[in-house]
């Protein structure tokens, strides 16, 4: 039995079925991401003013790599252009051209995920350390020349280390919200200052943790939103790869149906990219 | 809404993002005075203009495809 309305539009909706389906699905996705964005904004607005980590409940700034985030934004914009070009190539009856453009799209998706993984790894080796005198520093641990991941104070205690060597961050201007007055102490070194190495006694440490979701509200929502978005990128890339490399037979028997499938895949891909267009300024810049 | 229309929405959102990034970089330059922020602002502005030009070319090339 033939599936109805895969090519011809339904008389009642004026659209073929897959297009109605994808828009209903995207409506549910808007609600999902909308809830996360609303939560982020409420948490951000509710955070105390001040410099993190000096004020533990303040909102951290400048801890994410903005140039890398911008580069990832460009990668996703390029992938949106190529997915449209692939669809247009099918409309023009050029299957080879379609495959070439789709391959670039999939490469962009994988590139995005690789860069995001690098960013995650950077966070997992970056630490916040609170001391008994009430002060706090951020930086990278130096354990025999290596920067370990996911350590806590319990790890340091278990290893019976009397002290830990830390390359302490010199806060640059991105660590302060736009308009906030910079304390004189933080001007030292400037943006490209070397990380100062410092030996901290284990007995002086009250808290030591990498930048993981449990470290604070900002990290919890940052990892949740970006990981959820990353899953969408991965899912989209798998579907687009299937359409690209396993669709030769359908192209020969039912080319219009394949073109419609690519349009639906392209709509999902654009939605995923549009989420990033909102996610990037909200999480990285504000 | 067809892929063509959604792509135009996406390009518009990207242009707005690039303009916002330009504004953010200029604000950072005002607060910190690093020359790198000015370069970053200029690149964002060029990207915004580039995307507008791309959008116009895209519209011209795909005028025979429906918006629905």
CA B40 to CA B25: how far, in whole Å?
A: 7
3-state secondary structure B25-51: HHHHHHHHCCHHHHHHHHHHHHHHHHH
ipTM exceeds 0.90, yes or no: yes
CB contact under 8 Å between B28 and A84, yes or no, is: no
Residues above pLDDT 70, as percent of chain A: 92
Q: How many domains does chain A have?
A: 2
Of A91, A274, A285, the CB nearest to B10: A274
pLDDT digits 0-9 by tens, A4-31: 888 888 989 889 999 999 999 999 999 9
A119: nearest Cα among A80, A155, A152, A73: A73
- Confidence band (pLDDT; 50, 70, 90) for A202? very high
Predicted model pTM: 0.91
Residues A33 and A167 in one domain: no
Judge whether residue A187 has pLDDT over 60: no
Judge whether residue A191 has pLDDT over 50: no
Mean pLDDT of A209-226: 95
What pLDDT sits at residue A193? 52
Query: Is A14 inside a domain boundary?
Result: no
- Confidence band (pLDDT; 50, 70, 90) for A54? confident
Domain of A184?
127-210
Quote the DSSP letter at residue A281: I
Q: How many domains does chain B have?
A: 1
Distances (CA, A) of A86 to A67, A97, A112, A156, A237: 29, 7, 19, 53, 14
Judge whether residue A281 has pLDDT over 50: yes
What pLDDT sits at residue B39? 93
Residues A200 and A227 in one domain: no
What pLDDT sits at residue A56? 87
CA A262 to CA B3: how far, in whole Å?
A: 9
Domain boundary, last residue among A210, A235, A261: A210
Reduced to 3 states (helix: H, G, I; strand: E, B; else coil), residue A240 is: helix
Instruction: Mark A145-154 as b/e (b = at least 16 C-beta within 10 Å).
Output: eebbeebebe
End-to-end CA distance of chain B: 4
Reduced to 3 states (helix: H, G, I; strand: E, B; else coil), residue A99 is: helix
pLDDT digits 0-9 by tens, A106-157: 999 999 999 999 999 999 999 999 999 988 999 999 999 899 999 999 999 9
Domain of B57?
3-61
What pLDDT sits at residue A1? 75
**Sequence-separated (6 or more) residues with CB below 8 Å from residue A151:** A127, A141, A208, A209, A210
pLDDT digits 0-9 by tens, A66-106: 999 999 999 999 999 999 999 999 999 999 999 999 999 99
Query: Is B7 inside a domain boundary?
Result: yes
Residues A189 and A240 in one domain: no
pLDDT digits 0-9 by tens, A145-159: 899 999 999 999 999
Query: Is B68 inside a domain boundary?
Result: no
**Sequence-separated (6 or more) residues with CB below 8 Å from residue B44:** B18, B19, B21, B22, B25
Query: Is B67 inside a domain boundary?
Result: no
Residues A189 and A106 in one domain: no
Residues A220 and A116 in one domain: yes
Query: Is A258 inside a domain boundary?
Result: yes
CB contact under 8 Å between A280 and B17, yes or no, is: yes
Give me the residue label for tokens 């100062």. Answer: A196
Interface test with B, best of A29, A62, A85, A277 (most B CBs within 10 A): A277
CB contact under 8 Å between A266 and B65, yes or no, is: no
A105: nearest Cα among A225, A230, A232, A233: A233
Query: Is B66 inside a domain boundary?
Result: no
Mean pLDDT of B25-38: 84
Q: What residues of chain B lie within 8 A of the CB of A173, using their CB?
A: 28, 31-32, 34
Give me the residue label for tokens 């005002």. Answer: B30
């Amino acid at each position: 039995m033939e599936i109805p309305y895969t090519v011809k539009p339904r008389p009642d909706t004026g659209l073929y079925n897959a297009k109605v389906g994808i828009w209903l699905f995207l409506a549910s996705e808007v609600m999902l991401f909308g809830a996360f964005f609303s939560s982020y904004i409420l948490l951000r607005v509710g955070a105390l003013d001040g410099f993190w980590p000096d004020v533990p409940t303040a909102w951290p700034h400048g801890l994410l790599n903005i140039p890398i985030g911008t580069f990832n934004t460009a990668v996703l914009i390029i992938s949106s252009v190529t997915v449209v070009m692939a669809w247009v190539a099918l409309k023009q009856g050029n299957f080879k051209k379609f495959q070439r453009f789709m391959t670039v799209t999939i490469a962009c998706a994988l590139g995005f995920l690789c860069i995001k993984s690098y960013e995650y790894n950077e966070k997992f080796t970056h630490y916040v350390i609170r001391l008994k005198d009430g002060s706090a520093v951020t930086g990278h641990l130096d354990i025999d020349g290596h920067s370990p991941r996911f350590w806590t104070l319990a790890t340091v205690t278990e290893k019976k280390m009397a002290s830990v060597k830390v390359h302490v961050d010199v806060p640059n201007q991105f660590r302060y919200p736009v308009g906030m007055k910079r304390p004189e102490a933080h001007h030292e070194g400037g943006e490209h200052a070397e990380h100062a190495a410092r030996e901290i006694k284990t007995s002086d440490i009250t808290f030591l943790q990498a930048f993981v979701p449990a470290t604070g509200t900002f990290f919890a929502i940052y990892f949740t939103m970006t990981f959820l978005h990353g899953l969408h990128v991965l899912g989209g890339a798998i579907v687009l790869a299937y359409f690209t490399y396993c669709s030769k037979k359908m192209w020969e028997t039912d080319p219009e149906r394949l073109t419609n499938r690519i349009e639906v895949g392209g709509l999902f891909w654009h939605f995923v990219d549009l989420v990033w267009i909102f996610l990037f300024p909200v999480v990285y810049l504000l | 809404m067809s892929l063509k229309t959604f792509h135009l929405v996406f390009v518009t959102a990207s242009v707005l993002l690039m303009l916002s990034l330009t504004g953010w970089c200029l604000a950072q330059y005002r607060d910190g005075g690093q020359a790198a922020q000015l370069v970053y602002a200029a690149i964002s502005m060029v990207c915004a203009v580039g995307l507008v030009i791309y959008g116009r070319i895209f519209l011209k090339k795909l005028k025979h495809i429906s918006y629905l």
